[in-house]
Amino acid sequence: MDFTLPEGSAVTIEVVRDTSGEWEVSYYRTLLSCDGVLMVGGGQSTRVAGVIALAQRIPVVPVATFGGGAGQVWINLDKVRNDTDEIDIALLGEDWSPDSAQRLVACLMRQHVRLAQHKRAATQSRWVAAWSGAMGWIAAVACMAAAVAGLVTAAPARAATSLDLTVLVGAPLLASVAGAVIRNSFETDSRWMRACIRGLGAGLVTVLLYVASQLLSVPTLLDRLDVRRLLFITIPLGFTAGFTFDLVFERLRTGTATGAPPGSELLSSAAPSVGQGAPSE
């Protein structure tokens, strides 16, 4: 076969022998490394090549006016579209004219530009998703560290002050936010800011219900409040509520949230000792 190019052409042709003894293997494998495919007429192999190109989102120009396999690929392209639009589909189906070749090349170049834009957008989307996920993990670690810091710096047993109540409620809420973000990281659609709000709501409901239940059983709890001892219970409880916020909201919808909050049954035995076991002066 003669691959002689016109004199002065900037295009070069490199002939590489394929190890396969069957031309179909080499032919279809080559499609995966093509920047574009032009199809005119042809038969079954042309149609299969077109289907492969469409599946791999390779820019393809099937000239439908000559029929054959290319005409079938044009019909398939109209259903898939990929990087073509209505104008491109209409152009590929027009009758041949003196300027058809130039217009078809322009169509191929437009597809190539759109494909490049799509790849850049996909790369940027993956980068944003990775950055957002990393920020979510950082936020979870920061919230857990703040919750533990509240546990470490909590004041000794004394009459409850506004600061004590803030630490008592705030530390478990930070833990619930961390639990919700960690739970959300396992989801396909990871939106950690929304998970923070859900975890915050679930943690607030759970912790307040737990503290309210202890106030009902130990009315003098606030007279000598041991925040640090309570935080050993409420921080894990808040984290569990945030990690299972869907269960908390389901209980709220079904009206079963008036009972013990999720996970509190595991800690209920420790609660009375918290209020009644505080040292007395």
pLDDT one-digit tens code per residue, 96-127: 999 999 999 999 999 999 999 999 999 998 89
13 falls within a domain: no
Q: In the structure, what pLDDT confidence band is assigned to residue 3 with cuts at 50, 70 and 90?
A: confident
For residues 200-225, give the mean pLDDT: 89
Contact present, 49 and 31 (Cβ < 8 Å): yes
For the range 45-54, what are the long-range contacts, defined as Cβ-Cβ under 8 Å and sequence gap of 24 or more?
Answer: 45/69, 46/70, 46/73, 47/72, 47/73, 50/76, 50/77, 51/76, 52/28, 54/80, 54/82
| Domain termination site, one of 96, 121, 144 | 96
pLDDT tens across 10-45, in order? 888 888 888 877 888 888 888 888 999 999 999 999
Instruction: Determine the angle formed by the axes of helices 44-55 and 23-31, rounding to 10 degrees.
Output: 30
Do 45 and 161 fall within a single domain? Answer: no
| Domain termination site, one of 96, 118, 146 | 96
113 falls within a domain: no
Residue 17 host element (H or E): none
Do 90 and 45 fall within a single domain? Answer: yes
- Which residue type occupies 280? S
Do 92 and 133 fall within a single domain? Answer: no
- Residue 252: its pLDDT value, please? 65
pLDDT of residue 49 exceeding 70: yes
What percent of the chain stands above pLDDT 90?
48
- Residue 118: its pLDDT value, please? 94
Contact present, 25 and 48 (Cβ < 8 Å): no
Do 149 and 42 fall within a single domain? Answer: no
Do 66 and 159 fall within a single domain? Answer: no
Contact present, 241 and 176 (Cβ < 8 Å): yes
For residues 244-268, give the mean pLDDT: 59
Do 174 and 80 fall within a single domain? Answer: no
Q: In the structure, what pLDDT confidence band is assigned to residue 132 with cuts at 50, 70 and 90?
A: confident
Other beta carbons within 10 angstroms of residue 278's beta carbon come to 18
Domain extent, residue 133, equals 129-276
Do 92 and 169 fall within a single domain? Answer: no
Do 181 and 48 fall within a single domain? Answer: no
Do 41 and 136 fall within a single domain? Answer: no
Closest CA to 243 of 200, 165, 183: 183
Model pTM? 0.62
- Report the mean per-residue pLDDT for the chain: 85
Q: How many domains does the chain have?
A: 2
| Domain termination site, one of 96, 117, 137 | 96
- Residue 259: its pLDDT value, please? 45
For residues 267-279, give the mean pLDDT: 43
Do 140 and 232 fall within a single domain? Answer: yes
Least confident of 21-35, 59-73, 169-183, 227-241: 21-35
247 falls within a domain: yes
Least confident of 158-167, 180-189, 193-202: 180-189
- Residue 86: its pLDDT value, please? 94
39 falls within a domain: yes
Do 42 and 161 fall within a single domain? Answer: no
d(CA 197, CA 210): 20
- Residue 255: its pLDDT value, please? 64
Q: In the structure, what pLDDT confidence band is assigned to residue 273 with cuts at 50, 70 and 90?
A: very low
- Residue 5: its pLDDT value, please? 82
- Residue 280: its pLDDT value, please? 41
Contact present, 140 and 174 (Cβ < 8 Å): no
Contact present, 92 and 110 (Cβ < 8 Å): no
pLDDT of residue 76 exceeding 90: yes
